[in-house]
Amino acid sequence: MTSQIQKPLPLIGDKFPELKVQTTHGPKNLPKDYAGKWFILFSHPADFTPVCTTEFVAFQKRYQQFRELNTELIGLSIDQVFSHIKWVEWIKEKMGEEIEYPVIADDRGTVADQLGLVHPGKGTNTVRAVFIVDPHGTIRAFLYYPQELGRNIDEIVRMVKGLQTSDKHGVAIPANWPENELLKDRVIIPPASDQETARKRVKQYDNYDWWFCHKEL
């Protein structure tokens, strides 16, 4: 019996792999079709399952927030496109939410294999993964959740806002931002890398010390 060679998982800072996928909105090329936009690819274990249904509704309820952040959503599981279409119709009929974002039908598991999304010990189910990809096709963050734990979609919105704020202003983002226990909605100045800059920092910015300076946006 030959062992299957697994591809290394993509890492933060890697380019998102080029993939041709079939979705509920037709064929797409990733990340090419989202050039100039941020996008979030999130996988779920299976259609017609309760936790996944709550997540799809939660993503849809925040879809406008993501769009205002120049960010698109795209779902994925190892199900056929027919299953996705029927499930999306069921969500609209039973939950009153029309799922506006596309869902990848990865029934052969090729995308899941490429991204390391197959849940260990769960057959062909995909993990609850989230990839946040910037307008240049670079992976900026990813999250993995166990099958039994639904995601906090507000945290994913916060992550996109934080990454975009960091890029725009060249700052770091504190814990629980914009409601940090110490800094509220202020942001952190990257630490000085030489003594002269360290001395200047304490005069330029509010601080706890030269290595912990902060400011309002």
What is the extent of the structural domain holding 212?
A: 170-217
Show pLDDT as tens, one digit a residue, over the chain (217 residues). Answer: 333 445 667 899 999 999 999 999 999 999 999 999 999 999 999 999 999 999 999 999 999 999 999 999 999 998 999 999 999 999 999 999 999 999 999 988 888 888 888 766 666 677 899 999 999 999 999 999 988 999 999 999 999 999 999 999 999 999 999 999 999 999 999 999 999 999 999 999 999 999 999 999 9
Question: Residue 163 falls within a domain, yes or no?
Answer: no
How many other C-beta atoms are found inside a 10 Å radius of the C-beta of residue 66?
20
Judgement on whether residues 96 and 42 belong to the same structural domain of the protein: yes
Judgement on whether residues 74 and 32 belong to the same structural domain of the protein: yes
Question: Residue 14 falls within a domain, yes or no?
Answer: no
Closest CA to 102 of 157, 168, 40, 38: 40
Judgement on whether residues 104 and 179 belong to the same structural domain of the protein: no
Judgement on whether residues 200 and 107 belong to the same structural domain of the protein: no
- Whether cis (ω within 30° of 0) applies to the bond prior to 8 is no
Given the DSSP bridges, would you call strands 19-23 and 26-30 parallel, antiparallel or unpaired?
Answer: antiparallel
Question: Residue 156 falls within a domain, yes or no?
Answer: no
Judgement on whether residues 142 and 174 belong to the same structural domain of the protein: no
Number of domain units in the chain: 2
d(Cα 130, Cα 128) in Å, to the nearest integer? Answer: 7
| Extended beta strands in the chain, E state | 19-23, 26-30, 38-43, 71-77, 103-105, 128-133, 139-145, 187-189, 206-209, 212-215
- State the catalytic residues: 52
What's this model's pTM, rounded to 2 decimal places? Answer: 0.92
Judgement on whether residues 199 and 124 belong to the same structural domain of the protein: no
d(Cα 167, Cα 169) in Å, to the nearest integer? Answer: 6
